[in-house]
């Protein structure tokens, strides 16, 4: 069965939403954390509702609605999201009030909206969609798990025009904790110099990306989603190369046929060593993206949005090109990302 990307939208630290350009007007940020460029939510959400929505819910609803509009679809056959931390802002708010109010007379709103499936549920409520609705919380492969669920629904004929999204937010509390754990850098750095000054840690990020997936070939599709795979554990370069070769052969491909490889390099020396040691990627045109989006658990959704646009527009933005190897009009793109060298994912995307 073939699966197609009908439309794709993305809210990120760059001008990726409601923009005619494709990564042309790049935003430089000096710090340790990249914050998203947010749209005018009043276009997508009633102001009275928006006042009670946290940051991640507004991002998710806006991206999902715009994705449906771009695909000219009013009602999705299913809504599936992937998130690692869910509505962190509401969770922190609820726990803070729990302490401050001595567990008495707690306002219920923050508790109700603190669950991981709140975004998918809110989208369904606003669309009055009673179809299949699911949220995956699988840490670094949460988005890929959502994609797999969509593929199974399409393959079994249980749904079509499936809305799939990857969403995560960063709040001050979680950023401080993850920085102490060594995930993020402790000294400010320009995101555009991220790969020129390799040190420990990376830049924090957040965002929302949504895709309308179906199994209907059309000249209006952005790209063909040819395959995906996830695996867990710490692998040496030889074992990783075997995983990639096996994945490609399962989809009748070979590394020599891949025009572009999008990797999850993020400026952290330990993280990037995984990609640098992969000899299978030598002499392959490569692209990076986390200097634009920042690092977060479902950042691979940004990579998929980027890959779909590269294939649809036939151009690789200069800002994402790795080293001096580039290709002008790729037809087949492989995305390889890992989160903390344990959660690995492969996605194969081709031009329609």
Residue that terminates a domain, selected from 175, 197, 214: 214
Residues 61 and 123 in one domain: yes
Q: Torsion angle, CA of 20/323/225/143, rounded to 10 degrees?
A: -90
Residues 194 and 141 in one domain: yes
Residues 316 and 180 in one domain: no
Q: How high is the pLDDT of residue 101?
A: 83
The CATH number of residue 178's host domain is 3.40.47.10
Residues 101 and 242 in one domain: no
Residue that terminates a domain, selected from 145, 179, 214: 214
pLDDT per 10-residue tile (average), the chain, 352 residues: 96 94 95 95 91 91 97 97 91 84 80 86 96 97 98 95 97 92 94 93 97 96 97 96 97 95 96 95 94 97 98 95 80 97 97 93
Residues 257 and 198 in one domain: no
Residues 193 and 84 in one domain: yes
Alpha helices in 206-289 (DSSP H): 237-250, 269-276
Contact between 265 and 231 under an 8 Å Cβ cutoff? The reply is: no
Q: How high is the pLDDT of residue 112?
A: 77
DSSP-derived 3-state class of residue 143 = helix
Quote the distance between the C-alpha of residue 306 and its chain's center.
10
DSSP 72-110: T-SS-SEEEEE-SS-SHHHHHHHHHHHHHTTTSS--SHH
How many distinct structural domains can be found in the chain? 2
Residues 284 and 170 in one domain: no
Q: How high is the pLDDT of residue 72?
A: 96
Residues 202 and 247 in one domain: no
Residues 129 and 240 in one domain: no
The whole-angstrom separation of Cα 195 and Cα 191 is 8
Question: Could you tell me which residues come within 8 angstroms of residue 93 by beta carbon, excluding any fewer than 6 positions away?
Answer: 110, 114
Q: How high is the pLDDT of residue 109?
A: 77
Residues 56 and 73 in one domain: yes
DSSP-derived 3-state class of residue 154 = helix
Residues 31 and 174 in one domain: yes
Q: How high is the pLDDT of residue 104?
A: 81
Residue 99, CA atoms < 13 Å, CB-side half-sphere = 5
Residue that terminates a domain, selected from 154, 188, 214: 214
Residues 124 and 160 in one domain: yes
Range of the domain at 272: 223-350
């Amino acid at each position: 069965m073939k699966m197609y990307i009908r439309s794709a939208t993305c809210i990120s630290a760059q001008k990726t939403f409601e923009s005619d350009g494709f990564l042309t007007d790049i935003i430089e940020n000096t710090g340790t954390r990249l914050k998203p460029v947010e749209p005018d939510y009043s276009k997508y959400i009633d102001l009275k509702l928006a006042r009670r929505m946290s940051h991640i819910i507004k991002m998710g609803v806006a991206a999902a609605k715009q994705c449906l509009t771009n695909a000219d679809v009013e009602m999705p056959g299913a809504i599936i999201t992937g998130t690692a931390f869910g509505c962190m802002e509401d969770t922190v708010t609820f726990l803070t009030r729990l302490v401050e109010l001595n567990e008495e007379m707690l306002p219920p709103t923050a508790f109700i909206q603190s669950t991981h499936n709140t975004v998918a549920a809110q989208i369904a409520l606003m669309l009055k969609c009673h179809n299949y609705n699911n949220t995956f919380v699988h840490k670094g492969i949460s988005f890929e798990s959502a994609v797999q669920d969509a593929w199974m629904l399409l393959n079994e004929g249980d749904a079509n025009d499936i809305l799939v999204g990857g969403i995560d937010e960063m709040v001050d509390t979680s950023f401080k904790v993850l920085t102490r754990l060594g995930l993020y850098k402790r000294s400010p750095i320009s995101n555009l110099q991220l790969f020129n000054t390799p040190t420990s840690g990376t830049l924090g990020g957040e965002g929302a990306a949504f895709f309308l997936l179906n199994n209907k070939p059309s000249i209006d599709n952005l790209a063909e989603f040819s395959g995906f795979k996830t695996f867990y554990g710490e692998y040496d370069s030889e074992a990783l190369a075997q995983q990639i070769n096996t994945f490609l052969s399962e989809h009748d491909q070979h590394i020599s046929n891949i025009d572009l490889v999008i990797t999850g390099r993020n400026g952290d020396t330990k993280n990037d060593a995984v990609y640098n040691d992969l000899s299978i990627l030598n002499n392959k045109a490569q692209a990076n993206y986390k200097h634009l989006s920042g690092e977060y658990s479902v950042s691979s959704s940004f990579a998929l949005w980027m890959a779909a646009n590269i294939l649809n527009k036939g151009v690789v933005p200069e800002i994402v090109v790795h080293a001096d190897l580039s290709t002008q009009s790729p037809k087949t793109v492989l995305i390889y990302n890992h989160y903390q060298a344990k959660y690995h994912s492969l996605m194969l995307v081709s031009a329609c």
